[in-house]
Amino acid sequence: MKLLSVGTVAFDALETPFGKRDRIVGGSCTYISLSASYFLNDLGLVSVVGDDFPQETINLLENKSINLEGLQIKQGEKTFFWSGKYHNDMNTRDTLDTQLNVLENFDPIIPESFKNPEYVMLGNLVPALQLKVLDRLENTPKLVVLDTMNLWMDVALEDLKKVLKRVDLLTINDEEARQLSGEYSLRKAARIILDMGPKYLIIKKGEHGALLFHGENIFYVPALPLEEVFDPTGAGDTFAGGFIGYLSATDDISFENMKRAVVMGSAMASFCVEKFGPERMENLTQEEINDRIAQFKKLTDFTMNYEFA
Amino acid sequence: MKLLSVGTVAFDALETPFGKRDRIVGGSCTYISLSASYFLNDLGLVSVVGDDFPQETINLLENKSINLEGLQIKQGEKTFFWSGKYHNDMNTRDTLDTQLNVLENFDPIIPESFKNPEYVMLGNLVPALQLKVLDRLENTPKLVVLDTMNLWMDVALEDLKKVLKRVDLLTINDEEARQLSGEYSLRKAARIILDMGPKYLIIKKGEHGALLFHGENIFYVPALPLEEVFDPTGAGDTFAGGFIGYLSATDDISFENMKRAVVMGSAMASFCVEKFGPERMENLTQEEINDRIAQFKKLTDFTMNYEFA
């Protein structure tokens, strides 16, 4: 298997300044898989849902060539539910409700055909479960990418530190990088986090773009200035999915190619926020993606040959 | 004259998480002129100080080939004084004290040899005085750049709107763009502000970089991720000085060249914040500037030739 993604498949209730949705499909692994599916068709998902999860969404994911053999469907149980409300600036949100449901006793069983993935994307999940997934693989993948969040820094820091030692790349947002490192300067924070294990670090800054760190190398891709951000939910996971999807499809983990993957992740995330939930990610065309990549190039491209007089 | 800069020359008292300075030289026109002086030597300054202003600084500015014929020195009066304290995030600050002193009755007299500038930089100042400067010019400059701040949107909006109709380019920060336009989305804000008069708009986002808007064209240069920002004071003015200094030295106001000027402004600003006040801007070398431009190029440069399988 080329790419294995692990994380949550969920129901979300969302409220943004642009509207409200009571119960739509969400979850880190949903966004990751959908986004990655535009780049390759050899990808599998490991997650869990209840028997309330819509067959329609399962069909949609299968139509995107996402292998769902690793999706456990628990009869008589309910799907993980998260509810949140975004502030006017869209960069901050309050969690209104979290119902773990099937996640409470989730045991991430890896199907036989999933046990030798070349690339692994550990979407946001309890660090102990992310560790369990790594333990259950038979090979050492070419690249393991980890996403996590501030909650696990608060309640499961020791487990998180163990996972960090076993992954190649970490993606977190700027506030989380500051919390994890104890440093305000992102450049200093990056150095400390890279000492915790991963060789690469991506710091996501929402509307301000994303930074890729590797040793003393830094790459910065801005976010595309959009007319409106309707719903930021899943943008970080969509970024991760585009990043790992592009990397595994091109099968090149050089820093130069990771830069391209960061741009691709940013392009995919810029679509995600244009509609509620994963809606915009369901029917993208390759032309739309190519066109957006061209916009990113145009947005940041400059030549400079100045000679001082 | 190639470049005329108008604005304040001041004393500042500053406090940042990294230290404190009780009384150092500051002011919009000081930073603008110092920054622009690295690109051309035909530039003049129009401002006012009291007899308490240090001869040492006047000598420094003159050594940078800045023409000070338009700097009024008011005997028996005191220089404009501003005092501020930065919060831990360095992006927000409180004004602790403002003593207008010589600014209270400032009449911006333009020396004869200053009256036909090719480029004009109107640094942050009461909009009525910025208007007066434009009224007193004999020619129509190739490009007039305006900097302003939220204070004037609060207390002198009508005058500010009059100035906006008469300038080619406006530079403001993101919060100010939101205030002036009433729109949260910077892309929407830009459209509204460009309808107010200027053909070009630069939105400065501090550590998150800067955006250049012209019609439907957008260019985004990130800020260089620095180990530490010691003091953000004057960074916006230094940006403006580098921008207009580069533009006037190359004498090319195409969008392509404005993109380069935005990068140059960002490079100059990245030096400014490395030390307190204008200290770092006093003795830059051309090698240091070239090296930083190369860092900006490296920071954002990518190639992308992806074909979907």
Q: Is A186 helix (H, G, I), strand (E, B) or coil?
A: helix
Determine, yes or no, domain membership for B188.
yes
Rounded to whole angstroms, the Cα distance separating B245 from B261 reads 8
Q: pLDDT tens for residues A87-118?
A: 877 778 899 999 999 999 999 999 999 999 99
pLDDT tens-place string over residues B100-114: 999 999 999 999 999
- A222: DSSP letter: P
Rounded to the nearest integer, the mean pLDDT of chain B is 95
pLDDT at B309: 61
Mean predicted confidence (pLDDT) in A249-278: 96
Domain membership of residue B306 (yes or no) is no
Please say if the pLDDT value at position B88 is more than 80: no
Q: What is the mean pLDDT of residues B187-197?
A: 97
Which of A179, A214, A184 lies closest to A199, judged by CA? A214
Give the model confidence (pLDDT) of B245-260 as tens digits.
999 999 999 999 999 9
Number of domain units in chain B? 1
Does residue A304 contact residue B263 with C-beta atoms inside 8 Å?
Answer: yes
A292 contacts in B (CB within 8 Å)?
Answer: none
pLDDT tens per residue across span B216-235: 999 999 999 998 888 999 99
Q: Which residues of B touch A288 (CB under 8 A)?
A: none
Q: Tens of pLDDT along A3-38?
A: 999 999 999 999 998 899 999 999 999 999 999 999
Judge residue B97's burial from the number of C-beta atoms within 10 Å of its C-beta, 0-12 exposed, 13-18 middle, 19 or more buried: exposed
Report how far residue A142's alpha carbon sits from residue B136's, in angstroms, rounded to the nearest whole number: 68
- Chain B's closest residue to A301, CA to CA, is B301
Q: How far apart are CA A306 and CA A303, in angstroms?
A: 9
Examine residue B44 and state whether it is found in any structural domain, yes or no: yes
Report chain A's mean pLDDT, rounded to a whole number. 95
Phi, psi angle pair for A203, to nearest 5°: -105, 120
CATH number of the domain enclosing A92: 3.40.1190.20
Residue B86 above 80 pLDDT?
yes
Q: How far is CA A236 from the centre of its chain?
A: 5
CA pair distance B304, A216, nearest whole angstrom: 23
Nearest CA-CA distance, residue A31 and chain B, Å = 20
- Is the per-residue pLDDT at B308 higher than 80? no
Nearest to A225 among B38, B89, B186 (CB): B186
In this prediction, residue B38 carries a pLDDT of 97
Q: Does B298 have pLDDT greater than 90?
A: yes
CA distance B73 to A7: 68
Interface mutation vs chain A, best among B64, B87, B302, most A CBs within 10 Å: B302
Tell me the angle at which helices A235-250 and A28-36 cross, rounded to the nearest 10 degrees. 40
Task: Reply yes or no on whether the pLDDT at B189 is more than 70.
Answer: yes
B38 and A CB contact within 8 Å: yes
Residue A198 has pLDDT above 90, yes or no: yes
CB contact under 8 A, A308 and B260: no
The pLDDT of B159-175, averaged and rounded, is 97
The pLDDT of residue A193: 98
Q: Is pLDDT above 90 for B306?
A: no
Rounded average pLDDT over B31-46: 97
How far is it, in rounded angstroms, from Cα B171 to Cα B148?
7
B293–chain A Cβ distance below 8 A for any pair? yes
Q: What is the pLDDT of residues A44-54, one digit of tens each?
A: 999 999 999 99
Residue B284 lies in a domain: yes
pLDDT greater than 90 at residue B90: no
User: Is A308 in Cβ contact with B88 (below 8 Å)?
Assistant: no
Q: Is residue A309 part of a domain?
A: no
- Percent of chain A whose predicted confidence (pLDDT) is above 70: 100
Q: Which domain holds residue A154?
A: 3-300
Q: pTM of the entire structure?
A: 0.94
| Position with higher pLDDT, A305 vs A157 | A157
Residues of A in contact with B219 (CB under 8 A): 299-300, 302
**Lateral strand order in the sheet of B200-204:** B66-74, B43-50, B3-6, B119-122, B143-147, B169-173, B200-204, B210-214, B217-221
* pLDDT exceeds cutoff 90 at A304: no
Residue A38 is assigned to a structural domain of this protein: yes
The mean per-residue pLDDT over the stretch B25-52 comes to 97
A284, A288, A293, A296: CA torsion to nearest 10 = -100
- Write down the pLDDT at residue A282: 95
Considering only residues 184 to 243 of chain A, which have any Cβ-Cβ distance to chain B shorter than 8 Å? 184-188, 205, 208-209, 211, 218-222, 225-229
Token pair 């890729």: residue: A212
The interface predicted TM-score (ipTM) is 0.91
Q: Is residue A306 part of a domain?
A: no
In a domain, A239, yes or no: yes
Q: What is the mean pLDDT of residues A262-267?
A: 97
Q: What is the mean pLDDT of residues B255-266?
A: 97
Cβ-defined contact of A220 to B225 (cutoff 8 Å):
yes
pLDDT band for position A309 (50/70/90)?
A: low
**Structure-token pair, residue A264:** 């691709």
Check CB contact under 8 Å for B220 and A186. no
pLDDT tens profile B116-164:
999 999 999 999 999 999 999 999 999 999 999 999 999 999 999 999 9
Q: What is the pLDDT of residues A177-190, one digit of tens each?
A: 999 999 999 999 99
